[in-house]
């Protein structure tokens, strides 16, 4: 795992100093080596976190033996040894044992079609000196980030993070109101927008070709929707479960290749437990290291469950109870998050990565299992919606008001009362918008109250349009398949994977997600829905595949989630620090202080759990302060 950056200019050769500054901003992503190289019209920068081939032969920017092809690469190509052997038979020459050099030689052999051969997580920039072309590439699922800015003369700047890109003085620090609209609705920003006006994100499974005198071209190289449409038939459920288990074992095995210490995150849930169990099939259990963390608030801690799984599997387990100073922690997280981001699970992920890095350099994780095997409560809500959406709107409103009066607000982790209130307010929407609503933070009506005329552009953008665009790509599929596809294209790439990348890279820790091996994702997409969610049984086939490997208590356990007790902190230390600051800064940037004060008061008095809303606003204000962005 590393950080990459660069600048291509057809009219100037003055980009080296800019790229040096960009590279410095990425130091946390790669503490082991750093270099900047100018190659004709392009300057390439790289920060290295050494994982494979720890010698200087693996340092970047890297050129091939001819000196005509250059690359800066962030990530891993897990099947690089297999590809390397194939290339050697074709006469390729190698000077290192790194996967980076395999990418260069694969490009020389197959051109940009080399991407079809790679199984991994990556973002890279490859300069073809013969054709004078730059390729920017991002992996199939979007595990590694890549931002870029196009200049009027056809040039481009790019980087792993926005904070690095902003070191280029030609890029204006102006807030993008469309991205702000997405953030207020979701607490994260979708791929279609960036918080800085003019900055773009390369979508997952795409490459960008930049060539002098031509318009930059974005091309998609992988299509998941076909796997959702082409459903497979299995001889039996047992046969499907065995195939999944073998495939997951292979995905885990590829991700055990490392020249540095390696472990795994373990929550005690089925996803992370399945990964650790698979590791134990391929290594001595005592040589498998697992890591967990929890909070002193018991409803936010899974340490008991994680310890039980670790003991059952016989792995070497390490964990911690966090007592964070929330006031000091939030600004750190906001800085490393790079864009405004307010998923509360970023907090424990950040702390867990910091703890794990004291022992290992690589951790496997269970990320992706919920999205591809229907593990979220939202899919349960989708099913209930299909059964009861015929209820008249007047009756739904009556149900909501009755529940609101009878059931008190609690501040437990994703509490029943929070989920029920959210479900009832979404029941009156068409299905696709209801699924979108389950995870919204500020509704459209609340946004209209929150923003002043100065930020009216926020109201011109409906983030739901992105969700509906993806839903149409799998039109005609089962409604749960449509929801999972939409979640893979939005929630997974723009929330979950952003969280994991930024939290781990803040501590120079590499995270690997076997469930997001593209073969596992295609397999899951091709499953009939009943093998993913069987009646009300979520992750049906995944759990079936783990019988005999995992204890029964893991397979029967309901999903807990990985969150922080923000609701409690907002009553005490965060309230003392941020109540006045939020009101004053929000007013300056065009948000309505009286509405924010109402949110605070409702939360303090336990009228409503407004923790997600308040954290969204606090992190926005902290981000504006940190990055000195022009809001007007």
Please state the rounded mean pLDDT for residues 309-313: 97
CATH 3.50.50.60 fits 225-368+508-556, yes or no: no
pLDDT score for 266:
97
User: For residue 100, what is the enclosing H or E element?
Assistant: helix 99-110
What is the DSSP code (8-state) at residue 233?
Answer: -
* Residue 632: closest CA among 505, 474, 479, 455: 455
Q: Tell me the whole-structure pTM to 2 decimals.
A: 0.95
Average pLDDT over all residues of the chain = 93
pLDDT score for 1:
66
- Who's near 218: CB < 8 A, 6+ residues apart? 202, 203, 206, 207, 208
* Range list for CATH 3.40.50.620 in the chain: 225-368+508-556
Task: Return the minimum-mean-pLDDT range out of 86-90, 204-208, 581-585, 614-618.
Answer: 581-585
* Range list for CATH 3.60.20.10 in the chain: 2-220
Residues assigned a catalytic role = 2
Please state the rounded mean pLDDT for residues 529-540: 94
pLDDT at 393 over 70: no
What is the DSSP code (8-state) at residue 196?
Answer: B
The structure tokens listed for 545 are 């595949």
pLDDT score for 174:
95
CATH of domain 2-220: 3.60.20.10
* Residue 352, helix vs strand vs coil: helix
pLDDT at 536 over 80: yes
Residue 608 pLDDT level (bands cut at 50, 70, 90): confident
pLDDT at 48 over 70: yes
Angle between helices 611-627 and 593-604 (to 10 degrees): 130
* Residue 615: closest CA among 251, 187, 217: 187
Residue 232 pLDDT level (bands cut at 50, 70, 90): very high
pLDDT score for 412:
66
User: Above pLDDT 90, what percent of the chain?
Assistant: 81
For 108-137, write each residue's pLDDT tens digit.
999 999 999 999 999 999 999 999 999 999
For 337-360, write each residue's pLDDT tens digit.
999 999 999 999 999 999 999 999
* Residue 59, helix vs strand vs coil: coil
User: Above pLDDT 70, what percent of the chain?
Assistant: 96
Sign of CA pseudo-dihedral 412, 415, 417, 422: positive
Task: Return the minimum-mean-pLDDT range out of 106-120, 293-307, 525-539, 593-607.
Answer: 293-307
Q: Does residue 221 contact residue 209 with C-beta atoms inside 8 Å? A: no
* Residue 261: closest CA among 122, 143, 364, 365: 364
Please state the rounded mean pLDDT for residues 468-475: 97
């Amino acid at each position: 795992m590393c950080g990459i950056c660069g600048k291509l200019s057809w009219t100037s050769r003055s980009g080296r100093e800019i790229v040096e500054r960009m590279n410095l901003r990425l130091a946390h992503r790669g503490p082991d080596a750093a270099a900047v190289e100018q190659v004709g019209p392009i300057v390439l920068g790289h920060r290295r976190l050494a994982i494979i081939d720890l010698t200087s032969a693996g340092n970047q920017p890297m050129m091939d033996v001819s000196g005509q092809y250059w690359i800066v690469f962030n990530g891993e190509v897990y099947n690089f040894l297999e590809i390397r052997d194939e290339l050697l038979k074709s006469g390729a020459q190698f000077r290192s044992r790194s996967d980076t050099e395999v990418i260069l030689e694969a490009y020389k052999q197959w051109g940009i079609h080399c991407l079809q051969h790679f199984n991994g997580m990556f973002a890279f920039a490859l300069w073809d000196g013969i054709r004078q072309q730059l390729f920017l590439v991002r992996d199939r699922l979007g595990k590694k980030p890549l931002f870029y800015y196009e200049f009027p003369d056809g040039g481009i700047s790019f980087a792993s993070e926005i904070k690095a890109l902003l070191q280029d003085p030609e890029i204006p620090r102006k807030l993008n109101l469309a991205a702000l609209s997405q953030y207020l609705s979701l607490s994260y920003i979708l791929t279609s927008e960036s918080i800085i006006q003019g900055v773009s994100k390369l979508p997952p499974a795409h490459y960008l070709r930049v060539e002098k005198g031509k318009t930059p071209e974005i091309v998609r190289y992988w299509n998941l929707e076909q796997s959702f449409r082409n459903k497979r038939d299995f001889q039996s459920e047992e046969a499907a479960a065995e195939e999944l288990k073998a495939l997951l074992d292979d995905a885990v095995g590829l991700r055990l290749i490392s020249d540095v210490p390696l472990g795994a995150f373990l929550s005690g849930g089925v996803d992370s437990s399945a990964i650790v169990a698979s590791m134990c099939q391929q290594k001595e259990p005592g040589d498998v290291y697992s890591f967990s963390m929890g909070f002193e608030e018991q409803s936010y801690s899974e340490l008991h469950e994680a310890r039980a799984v670790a003991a059952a599997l016989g792995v070497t387990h390490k964990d911690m109870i966090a007592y964070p100073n929330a006031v000091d922690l939030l600004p750190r997280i906001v800085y490393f998050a790079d864009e405004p981001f307010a998923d509360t699970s970023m907090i424990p992920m950040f702390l867990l990565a910091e703890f794990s890095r004291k022992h290992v350099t690589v951790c496997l994780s269970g990320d992706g299992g919920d999205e591809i095997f229907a593990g979220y409560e939202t899919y349960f809500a989708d099913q209930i919606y299909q059964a009861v959406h015929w209820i008249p709107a007047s009756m739904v409103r009556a149900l909501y008001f009755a529940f609101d009066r009878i059931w008190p607000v609690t501040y437990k982790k994703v509490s029943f009362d929070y989920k029920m209130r959210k479900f009832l307010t979404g029941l009156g929407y068409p299905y696709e918008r209801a699924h979108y609503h389950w995870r919204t933070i500020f509704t459209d009506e609340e946004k209209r109250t929150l923003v002043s005329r100065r930020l009216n552009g926020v109201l011109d953008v409906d983030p739901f349009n992105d969700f509906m665009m993806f839903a149409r790509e799998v039109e005609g599929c089962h409604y749960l398949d449509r929801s999972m596809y939409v979640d893979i294209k939005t929630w997974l790439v723009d929330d979950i994977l952003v969280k994991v990348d930024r939290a781990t890279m803040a501590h120079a820790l590499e995270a690997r997600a076997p469930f997001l091996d593209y073969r596992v994702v295609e397999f899951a997409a091709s499953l009939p829905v009943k093998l993913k969610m069987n009646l009300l049984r979520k992750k049906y086939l995944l759990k079936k595949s783990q019988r005999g490997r995992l204890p029964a208590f893991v397979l029967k356990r309901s999903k807990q989630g990985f969150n922080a007790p923000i609701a409690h902190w907002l009553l005490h230390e965060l309230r003392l620090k941020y109540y006045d600051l939020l009101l004053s800064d929000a007013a300056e940037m065009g948000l309505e202080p009286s509405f924010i004060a109402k949110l605070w008061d409702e939360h303090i008095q336990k009228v409503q759990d407004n923790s997600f809303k308040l954290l969204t606003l606090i992190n926005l204000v902290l981000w504006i302060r940190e990055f000195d962005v022009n809001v007007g």
